[in-house]
Amino acid sequence: MGALWRRFEGWVMRGQRPSAEPIRLTRRRIYILPTGQGYAFATLLFLLFLWSINYSNSMGFAFTFLLAAVALNSMWQAHDNLLGLIVDSSGAEPVFAGQEARFAFRVENPDPRPRYGIALQWRDQPPRHTDLPASGAAVVTLTVLAERRGWLRTGRVRVLTRYPLGLLQAWSWVEFERACLVYPQPRGRRPLPAALSGGAGAGLGDQGFGSEDYAGFRLYAPGDSPRRIAWKAATRGGPLLVKQFTDQVRPELWLDWRLLGIDSVEPRLAQLCQWVLKAEGEGRRYGLLLPGARIAPGRGDAHRRRCLEALALFTYAEDVSHRHETAVEPEGPTKTRAAAG
Protein backbone atom coordinates (compact mmCIF):
# COMPACT_ATOMS: atom_id res chain seq x y z
CA MET A 1 0.00 0.00 0.00
CA GLY A 2 2.75 2.36 1.02
CA ALA A 3 4.72 1.58 -2.11
CA LEU A 4 1.65 2.09 -4.26
CA TRP A 5 0.97 5.38 -2.55
CA ARG A 6 4.54 6.52 -3.12
CA ARG A 7 4.24 5.66 -6.77
CA PHE A 8 1.02 7.63 -6.97
CA GLU A 9 2.70 10.59 -5.31
CA GLY A 10 5.59 10.30 -7.70
CA TRP A 11 3.16 10.39 -10.59
CA VAL A 12 1.35 13.39 -9.14
CA MET A 13 4.61 15.20 -8.57
CA ARG A 14 6.16 14.44 -11.93
CA GLY A 15 7.71 17.46 -13.51
CA GLN A 16 7.96 19.46 -10.31
CA ARG A 17 11.49 20.57 -9.57
CA PRO A 18 12.94 22.04 -6.40
CA SER A 19 12.28 25.74 -6.48
CA ALA A 20 14.62 28.62 -5.74
CA GLU A 21 11.68 31.01 -5.62
CA PRO A 22 8.71 31.32 -3.29
CA ILE A 23 5.98 28.88 -4.26
CA ARG A 24 2.40 29.96 -4.57
CA LEU A 25 -0.16 27.25 -3.87
CA THR A 26 -2.37 27.21 -6.91
CA ARG A 27 -5.38 25.07 -7.68
CA ARG A 28 -3.38 22.52 -9.59
CA ARG A 29 -0.97 21.99 -6.72
CA ILE A 30 -3.62 21.30 -4.10
CA TYR A 31 -4.89 17.79 -3.45
CA ILE A 32 -7.55 16.69 -1.06
CA LEU A 33 -8.45 13.37 0.53
CA PRO A 34 -10.39 12.23 3.57
CA THR A 35 -8.45 11.67 6.76
CA GLY A 36 -8.88 8.71 9.09
CA GLN A 37 -11.39 10.82 10.94
CA GLY A 38 -13.12 11.51 7.66
CA TYR A 39 -13.56 7.81 7.00
CA ALA A 40 -14.79 7.33 10.56
CA PHE A 41 -17.29 10.14 10.02
CA ALA A 42 -18.43 8.58 6.74
CA THR A 43 -19.00 5.31 8.58
CA LEU A 44 -20.95 7.15 11.25
CA LEU A 45 -23.12 8.79 8.60
CA PHE A 46 -23.72 5.46 6.90
CA LEU A 47 -24.83 3.95 10.19
CA LEU A 48 -27.12 6.90 10.83
CA PHE A 49 -28.53 6.44 7.34
CA LEU A 50 -29.26 2.75 7.96
CA TRP A 51 -30.71 3.71 11.31
CA SER A 52 -33.01 6.24 9.65
CA ILE A 53 -34.19 3.62 7.17
CA ASN A 54 -34.76 1.14 9.92
CA TYR A 55 -36.82 3.48 12.04
CA SER A 56 -38.37 5.21 8.99
CA ASN A 57 -37.23 8.38 10.70
CA SER A 58 -37.69 11.29 8.35
CA MET A 59 -35.72 13.78 10.42
CA GLY A 60 -33.04 11.12 10.83
CA PHE A 61 -32.60 11.27 7.06
CA ALA A 62 -32.63 15.05 7.11
CA PHE A 63 -29.94 15.33 9.78
CA THR A 64 -27.79 12.64 8.18
CA PHE A 65 -27.99 14.44 4.86
CA LEU A 66 -27.27 17.75 6.54
CA LEU A 67 -24.11 16.42 8.16
CA ALA A 68 -23.05 14.85 4.86
CA ALA A 69 -23.56 18.17 3.10
CA VAL A 70 -21.57 20.00 5.76
CA ALA A 71 -18.74 17.49 5.36
CA LEU A 72 -18.88 18.00 1.61
CA ASN A 73 -18.71 21.75 2.07
CA SER A 74 -15.72 21.39 4.38
CA MET A 75 -13.88 20.05 1.33
CA TRP A 76 -14.17 23.46 -0.28
CA GLN A 77 -13.25 25.16 2.93
CA ALA A 78 -10.08 23.08 3.33
CA HIS A 79 -9.13 23.70 -0.29
CA ASP A 80 -9.70 27.44 0.09
CA ASN A 81 -7.68 27.45 3.25
CA LEU A 82 -4.55 26.53 1.28
CA LEU A 83 -5.30 28.28 -1.98
CA GLY A 84 -3.08 31.26 -2.68
CA LEU A 85 -0.68 30.77 0.19
CA ILE A 86 2.91 31.67 -0.62
CA VAL A 87 5.57 29.44 0.88
CA ASP A 88 9.25 30.18 0.94
CA SER A 89 12.20 28.47 2.48
CA SER A 90 14.57 30.48 4.62
CA GLY A 91 17.10 27.62 4.70
CA ALA A 92 18.76 26.26 7.79
CA GLU A 93 21.93 26.91 9.78
CA PRO A 94 24.63 24.27 9.27
CA VAL A 95 24.66 21.44 11.79
CA PHE A 96 26.80 18.46 12.61
CA ALA A 97 25.73 15.01 11.53
CA GLY A 98 23.56 13.46 14.20
CA GLN A 99 22.04 16.80 15.09
CA GLU A 100 18.70 18.13 13.94
CA ALA A 101 18.69 20.64 11.15
CA ARG A 102 16.09 23.34 11.64
CA PHE A 103 14.59 24.40 8.34
CA ALA A 104 12.58 27.58 8.51
CA PHE A 105 9.67 28.13 6.12
CA ARG A 106 7.87 31.37 5.73
CA VAL A 107 4.19 30.98 4.95
CA GLU A 108 2.43 34.07 3.79
CA ASN A 109 -1.25 34.75 3.52
CA PRO A 110 -1.86 37.38 0.82
CA ASP A 111 -5.63 37.50 1.36
CA PRO A 112 -7.54 39.82 3.64
CA ARG A 113 -8.97 36.89 5.61
CA PRO A 114 -7.24 34.86 8.28
CA ARG A 115 -6.29 31.24 7.74
CA TYR A 116 -6.35 28.78 10.57
CA GLY A 117 -4.78 25.43 11.13
CA ILE A 118 -2.11 25.55 8.42
CA ALA A 119 0.63 23.01 9.01
CA LEU A 120 3.91 21.94 7.48
CA GLN A 121 4.98 18.36 7.65
CA TRP A 122 8.19 16.61 6.81
CA ARG A 123 7.76 12.96 5.92
CA ASP A 124 5.95 11.14 8.75
CA GLN A 125 6.82 13.57 11.46
CA PRO A 126 4.01 15.28 13.33
CA PRO A 127 2.90 18.38 11.43
CA ARG A 128 3.77 21.81 12.78
CA HIS A 129 0.70 24.02 13.00
CA THR A 130 0.30 27.72 12.68
CA ASP A 131 -2.43 30.28 12.14
CA LEU A 132 -2.02 33.08 9.66
CA PRO A 133 -3.62 36.46 10.31
CA ALA A 134 -5.25 38.32 7.44
CA SER A 135 -2.53 39.51 5.05
CA GLY A 136 0.08 38.18 7.43
CA ALA A 137 2.78 35.59 7.55
CA ALA A 138 4.27 33.08 9.93
CA VAL A 139 7.47 31.10 10.09
CA VAL A 140 7.26 27.38 10.63
CA THR A 141 10.37 25.46 11.55
CA LEU A 142 10.74 21.82 10.64
CA THR A 143 13.45 19.78 12.28
CA VAL A 144 15.11 17.14 10.19
CA LEU A 145 17.64 14.72 11.58
CA ALA A 146 20.92 15.22 9.73
CA GLU A 147 22.18 11.70 9.39
CA ARG A 148 25.10 12.21 7.06
CA ARG A 149 27.50 15.00 6.25
CA GLY A 150 27.06 16.93 3.05
CA TRP A 151 24.15 18.89 1.71
CA LEU A 152 20.87 18.04 3.35
CA ARG A 153 17.68 18.85 1.51
CA THR A 154 14.25 18.43 2.96
CA GLY A 155 12.94 17.12 -0.30
CA ARG A 156 9.18 17.46 -0.60
CA VAL A 157 7.52 19.15 2.30
CA ARG A 158 3.81 18.87 2.76
CA VAL A 159 1.81 22.02 3.39
CA LEU A 160 -1.46 20.81 4.76
CA THR A 161 -4.63 21.77 6.50
CA ARG A 162 -7.40 19.80 8.10
CA TYR A 163 -9.34 22.87 8.97
CA PRO A 164 -12.25 23.27 9.52
CA LEU A 165 -13.65 19.88 10.52
CA GLY A 166 -10.66 17.59 10.38
CA LEU A 167 -12.52 15.24 8.08
CA LEU A 168 -10.51 16.07 5.01
CA GLN A 169 -6.92 16.96 4.46
CA ALA A 170 -5.98 19.38 1.74
CA TRP A 171 -2.30 19.39 0.99
CA SER A 172 0.28 20.59 -1.43
CA TRP A 173 3.89 19.59 -1.93
CA VAL A 174 6.62 22.20 -1.89
CA GLU A 175 10.27 21.54 -2.54
CA PHE A 176 13.02 24.12 -2.37
CA GLU A 177 16.60 24.18 -3.56
CA ARG A 178 17.79 25.64 -0.30
CA ALA A 179 19.77 23.05 1.60
CA CYS A 180 21.41 22.69 4.94
CA LEU A 181 25.13 21.98 5.16
CA VAL A 182 25.87 19.08 7.46
CA TYR A 183 29.33 18.84 8.94
CA PRO A 184 30.73 15.46 9.85
CA GLN A 185 29.98 14.30 13.31
CA PRO A 186 32.90 15.31 15.58
CA ARG A 187 34.05 11.97 16.90
CA GLY A 188 37.33 10.23 17.72
CA ARG A 189 39.62 9.86 20.67
CA ARG A 190 42.95 10.81 19.23
CA PRO A 191 44.71 13.76 20.78
CA LEU A 192 45.55 16.74 18.65
CA PRO A 193 48.59 16.05 16.53
CA ALA A 194 51.91 17.57 17.61
CA ALA A 195 52.71 20.90 16.03
CA LEU A 196 54.58 20.78 12.76
CA SER A 197 54.57 17.06 12.99
CA GLY A 198 55.60 14.68 10.30
CA GLY A 199 56.83 17.38 7.88
CA ALA A 200 53.34 18.15 6.96
CA GLY A 201 54.66 20.14 4.11
CA ALA A 202 54.00 23.35 5.90
CA GLY A 203 55.81 26.12 4.16
CA LEU A 204 58.50 27.67 6.29
CA GLY A 205 57.31 31.07 5.21
CA ASP A 206 54.20 30.48 7.12
CA GLN A 207 56.05 30.93 10.32
CA GLY A 208 56.73 34.46 9.32
CA PHE A 209 53.07 35.29 9.42
CA GLY A 210 52.65 34.34 13.00
CA SER A 211 51.96 37.19 15.27
CA GLU A 212 52.23 35.75 18.73
CA ASP A 213 55.88 35.75 19.60
CA TYR A 214 58.82 37.79 18.45
CA ALA A 215 61.37 35.58 16.65
CA GLY A 216 63.92 37.96 15.08
CA PHE A 217 64.39 40.13 11.97
CA ARG A 218 64.59 39.54 8.29
CA LEU A 219 65.06 41.78 5.31
CA TYR A 220 62.11 43.82 4.19
CA ALA A 221 60.31 42.54 1.20
CA PRO A 222 57.72 44.54 -0.69
CA GLY A 223 54.28 43.82 0.61
CA ASP A 224 55.24 43.44 4.23
CA SER A 225 52.99 45.22 6.66
CA PRO A 226 54.40 48.62 7.66
CA ARG A 227 53.50 47.83 11.24
CA ARG A 228 56.06 45.07 11.27
CA ILE A 229 58.97 47.19 10.06
CA ALA A 230 61.52 47.64 12.78
CA TRP A 231 61.43 51.40 12.68
CA LYS A 232 63.81 51.69 15.60
CA ALA A 233 66.49 49.75 13.73
CA ALA A 234 65.81 51.69 10.59
CA THR A 235 66.49 54.98 12.32
CA ARG A 236 69.87 53.61 13.19
CA GLY A 237 70.59 53.48 9.44
CA GLY A 238 70.69 49.79 8.72
CA PRO A 239 68.79 47.97 5.98
CA LEU A 240 65.04 47.97 6.38
CA LEU A 241 64.26 45.07 8.63
CA VAL A 242 60.99 43.41 9.40
CA LYS A 243 60.10 41.87 12.75
CA GLN A 244 59.35 38.21 12.63
CA PHE A 245 56.92 36.45 14.95
CA THR A 246 56.18 32.82 15.47
CA ASP A 247 53.82 30.84 17.70
CA GLN A 248 56.61 29.06 19.34
CA VAL A 249 54.84 28.27 22.59
CA ARG A 250 51.75 27.02 20.75
CA PRO A 251 52.98 26.22 17.33
CA GLU A 252 50.42 25.96 14.56
CA LEU A 253 48.85 22.64 13.82
CA TRP A 254 48.35 20.73 10.69
CA LEU A 255 45.31 18.57 10.85
CA ASP A 256 46.39 16.09 8.28
CA TRP A 257 44.28 13.42 6.64
CA ARG A 258 47.32 11.22 6.32
CA LEU A 259 47.83 11.06 10.07
CA LEU A 260 44.74 8.90 10.22
CA GLY A 261 45.70 6.43 7.60
CA ILE A 262 44.41 3.37 9.36
CA ASP A 263 40.80 4.47 9.41
CA SER A 264 38.31 4.46 6.63
CA VAL A 265 36.98 7.71 5.22
CA GLU A 266 34.16 8.71 7.50
CA PRO A 267 35.92 8.03 10.84
CA ARG A 268 38.87 10.03 9.51
CA LEU A 269 36.63 12.97 8.71
CA ALA A 270 34.94 12.62 12.08
CA GLN A 271 38.29 12.76 13.80
CA LEU A 272 39.42 15.71 11.72
CA CYS A 273 36.21 17.48 12.55
CA GLN A 274 36.72 16.84 16.20
CA TRP A 275 40.27 18.19 15.93
CA VAL A 276 39.05 21.33 14.21
CA LEU A 277 36.63 22.02 17.03
CA LYS A 278 39.21 21.20 19.66
CA ALA A 279 41.90 23.32 18.10
CA GLU A 280 39.51 26.19 17.72
CA GLY A 281 38.39 25.76 21.28
CA GLU A 282 41.96 25.88 22.53
CA GLY A 283 42.62 28.98 20.51
CA ARG A 284 45.28 27.32 18.35
CA ARG A 285 46.08 28.14 14.80
CA TYR A 286 45.44 25.18 12.58
CA GLY A 287 45.46 24.18 8.98
CA LEU A 288 43.66 21.38 7.27
CA LEU A 289 45.09 18.96 4.80
CA LEU A 290 42.81 16.74 2.80
CA PRO A 291 43.38 14.82 -0.37
CA GLY A 292 42.65 17.43 -2.92
CA ALA A 293 42.31 20.34 -0.54
CA ARG A 294 44.56 22.34 1.67
CA ILE A 295 43.49 25.10 4.00
CA ALA A 296 46.24 27.24 5.40
CA PRO A 297 46.43 27.63 9.16
CA GLY A 298 44.24 30.21 10.65
CA ARG A 299 41.77 30.82 13.40
CA GLY A 300 38.35 32.24 14.10
CA ASP A 301 34.78 31.50 13.05
CA ALA A 302 35.27 32.08 9.34
CA HIS A 303 38.29 29.81 9.29
CA ARG A 304 36.56 27.15 11.27
CA ARG A 305 33.56 27.28 8.98
CA ARG A 306 35.81 26.95 5.95
CA CYS A 307 37.45 23.88 7.42
CA LEU A 308 34.16 22.31 8.39
CA GLU A 309 32.72 23.01 4.95
CA ALA A 310 35.69 21.30 3.36
CA LEU A 311 35.13 18.30 5.60
CA ALA A 312 31.42 18.29 4.96
CA LEU A 313 31.73 18.36 1.22
CA PHE A 314 34.82 16.18 0.92
CA THR A 315 34.52 13.50 -1.70
CA TYR A 316 37.00 10.71 -1.59
CA ALA A 317 38.32 9.05 -4.67
CA GLU A 318 41.23 6.62 -4.73
CA ASP A 319 43.10 8.46 -7.43
CA VAL A 320 42.76 11.77 -5.64
CA SER A 321 44.18 10.44 -2.41
CA HIS A 322 47.52 9.71 -3.97
CA ARG A 323 48.13 13.06 -5.51
CA HIS A 324 46.86 15.43 -2.98
CA GLU A 325 49.79 17.70 -3.56
CA THR A 326 48.37 18.82 -6.87
CA ALA A 327 45.68 20.36 -4.89
CA VAL A 328 42.55 21.83 -6.21
CA GLU A 329 41.67 24.57 -3.83
CA PRO A 330 38.26 24.53 -2.36
CA GLU A 331 35.97 27.28 -3.41
CA GLY A 332 35.96 30.55 -1.67
CA PRO A 333 38.47 33.27 -1.03
CA THR A 334 40.93 31.06 0.79
CA LYS A 335 44.52 31.98 0.39
CA THR A 336 46.17 28.61 0.51
CA ARG A 337 49.29 28.05 -1.34
CA ALA A 338 50.39 24.94 -3.06
CA ALA A 339 52.44 22.82 -0.80
CA ALA A 340 56.12 22.70 -1.47
CA GLY A 341 56.75 19.05 -1.06
Partner 1 sequence: MRLPWSRRDRPRRAPPPVEPLTASALTWLLAALALAVAPQATELSVWLSVLFAALVGWRGFIVFRNRALPPRWLLLLVATLAGAGVMIDHRTLFGRDAGVALLTAMTACKLLESRGLRDGVVLVFLGYLLVMSNLLYSQDIPLVTYLLAVILVMLTAQVLIHRQHAGLTALAPLRLTGRMVLLAIPVMLILFVLFPRIPGPLWGLPKDAYKGRTGLSEQMAPGSVSELIRSDAVAFRVRFADAVPPSNQRYWRGPVLWHFDGRRWTRPEEPPVKTPIPFTPEGAAVDYAVVLEPSNRNWLFALDLPARLPPRAGMTPSFQLLRDQPVNEVYRYEMRSYPAYRTAEPTAMERSRGLQLPPRANPRARALVAEWRQRDPQPEALVRSALTLFREQPFYYTLNPPELGGEIVDDFLFRTRRGFCEHYASAFVFLMRAGGVPARVVLGYQGGEMNALGGYLMVRQSDAHAWAEVWLEGRGWVRVDPTGAVAPNRVQQGLYAALSDSRLLPFLARHGGDSEWLRQLALGWDILNNSWNEWVLAYGPERQKEFLSGLGFGPADWTGMTVAMLIALGGFGVLYAGWRWRSRLARDPVARAWQRFCARLARRGLARGAAEGPLDFAGRVAAGRPELAAGVWEIARLYAALRYGPVAPPEQVRQLRQLTRRFRA
93 or 111, CB closer to partner 1?
111
Looking at 146-154, 163-171, 251-259, 269-277, which segment touches partner 1 (CB under 8 A)? 163-171
Does 22 sit behind a cis peptide bond, omega within 30 degrees of 0 on the bond before it? Answer: no
Q: Does 41 bind partner 1 (CB under 8 A)?
A: yes
129 or 187, CB closer to partner 1?
129
Write each residue from 194 to 223 as x if it is in contact with partner 1 (CB under 8 A), else as -, in one continuous string. Answer: ------------------------------
What is the closest distance, in whole angstroms, from the C-beta atom of residue 139 to partner 1 in the complex?
13
Q: Does 103 bind partner 1 (CB under 8 A)?
A: no
Looking at 49-57, 178-186, 298-306, 318-326, which segment touches partner 1 (CB under 8 A)? 49-57
d(CA 106, CA 128): 13
Q: Does 130 bind partner 1 (CB under 8 A)?
A: yes
Distance between first and last Cα of the chain: 60
Q: Does 56 bind partner 1 (CB under 8 A)?
A: yes
126 or 281, CB closer to partner 1?
126
35 or 211, CB closer to partner 1?
35
Cα angle 302-303-308, degrees, rounded to a multiple of 5: 100
Q: Does 302 bind partner 1 (CB under 8 A)?
A: no
Q: Does 116 bind partner 1 (CB under 8 A)?
A: yes
| Interface pick for partner 1 out of 12, 100, 133, 145 (rule CB under 8 A) | 133
Q: Does 131 bind partner 1 (CB under 8 A)?
A: yes
| Interface pick for partner 1 out of 22, 34, 201, 203 (rule CB under 8 A) | 22
Nearest CA among 147, 159, 77 for reference residue 113: 77
Positions touching partner 1 (CB under 8 A) are 22, 24, 28, 37, 40-41, 44, 48, 50-51, 53-70, 72-74, 76-77, 80, 86, 108, 110-114, 116-117, 126, 129-131, 133, 135-137, 162-166
